């Protein structure tokens, strides 16, 4: 069983992002970029499936600028077998990503595609769902546990009220939630080995997809600054302020 794992290059989660002066987006110049954390969880899950003998091949796919090769190399160092880079400088929105991933799925014929539930840069939480719709495959989103049994997969989903378990027939789409697993750190020997693993590079046009954006960003702004707090002199004063001044926002 082949598993496809889309991995997005995003601003590292430790970086405090800054909005560009003209409000057109986030300033990424000189900023540390890493693999989207939910995609690390996807790679880990796929590699564990291969280690258990359930998956035969794990293919990491990234879409975007040439530096996405580094993100793919990280996935290869974690244990993925090979990579595919769809290289473009165009701004990629979820529908374009889903169309490109569908074209790759048509070529590669994976039985399972494990995406992150969302990319931490734009928080769209849309690509997995759109891809499931385009492929007409069942989807198990926000997965905190998965179990492959024969021709199906059972997915435990994190929903508002608790956990929901769904049974899907393969091929299927899964999106990862935080508790699915704890991704491994790549060891130095595996980082070295990853350098020799193959990465196919192609352009959106090779897949017959026009990645032009459908949404226009009107404005990006910083969240409002928090007002300074006050120091209270005693517990009694605190209780009194809570009674008379505190408001639910």
Give the footprint of ligand AMP on this chain (CB under 6 A): 6-8, 36, 38-39, 61-64, 92, 94, 97, 115-116, 118-119, 122, 124-128
CB atoms within 10 A of CB 53: 8
- Of 129 and 156, the one with the shorter C-beta distance to ligand AMP is 129
DSSP helix/strand/coil, 69 = helix
- Of 45 and 81, the one with the shorter C-beta distance to ligand AMP is 45
Angle between helices 127-135 and 94-108 (to 10 degrees): 50
Half-sphere exposure of 58 (CA within 13 A, CB side): 28
- Of 192 and 220, the one with the shorter C-beta distance to ligand AMP is 220
**Residues 116-145 as b or e (16 or more Cβ within 10 Å = b):** bbbbbbeebbbbbbbbbebbebbbbbbbeb
Q: How far is the CB of 61 from ligand AMP (least distance, A)?
A: 6
- Of 124 and 191, the one with the shorter C-beta distance to ligand AMP is 124
Asked if 2 and 110 touch (Cβ cutoff 8 Å), the reply is yes
Asked if 59 and 1 touch (Cβ cutoff 8 Å), the reply is no
Q: How far is the CB of 7 from ligand AMP (least distance, A)?
A: 6
- Of 36 and 74, the one with the shorter C-beta distance to ligand AMP is 36
Q: How far is the CB of 116 from ligand AMP (least distance, A)?
A: 2
Q: Which residue is nearest to ligand AMP (CB)?
A: 116
Q: How far is the CB of 60 from ligand AMP (least distance, A)?
A: 9
Q: How far is the CB of 31 from ligand AMP (least distance, A)?
A: 17
27 DSSP assignment: -
């Amino acid at each position: 069983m082949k598993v496809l794992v889309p991995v997005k290059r995003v601003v590292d989660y430790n970086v405090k992002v800054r909005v560009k002066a003209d409000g057109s987006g986030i300033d990424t110049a000189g900023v540390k970029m890493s693999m989207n954390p939910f995609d690390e969880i996807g790679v880990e899950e796929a590699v564990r499936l291969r280690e258990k003998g359930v998956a035969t091949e794990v293919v990491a796919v990234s879409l975007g600028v040439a530096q996405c090769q580094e993100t793919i190399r990280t996935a290869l160092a974690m244990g993925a077998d090979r990579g595919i880079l769809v290289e473009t400088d165009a701004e990629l929105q979820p529908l374009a990503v889903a169309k490109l991933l569908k074209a790759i799925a048509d070529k590669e014929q994976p039985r399972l595609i494990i995406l992150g539930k969302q990319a931490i840069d734009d928080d769209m939480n849309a690509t997995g769902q759109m891809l499931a719709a385009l492929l007409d495959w069942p989807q198990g989103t926000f997965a905190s546990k998965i179990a492959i049994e024969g021709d199906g997969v059972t997915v435990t989903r994190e929903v508002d009220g608790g956990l929901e378990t769904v049974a899907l027939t393969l091929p299927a789409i899964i999106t990862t939630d935080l508790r699915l697993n704890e991704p491994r750190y790549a060891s130095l020997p595996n980082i070295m080995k990853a350098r020799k693993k193959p990465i196919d590079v192609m352009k959106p046009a090779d897949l017959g997809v026009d990645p032009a954006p459908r949404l226009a960003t009107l404005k990006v702004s910083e969240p409002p600054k928090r007002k300074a707090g006050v120091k209270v002199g005693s517990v009694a004063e605190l209780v009194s302020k809570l009674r008379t001044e505190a408001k639910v926002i």
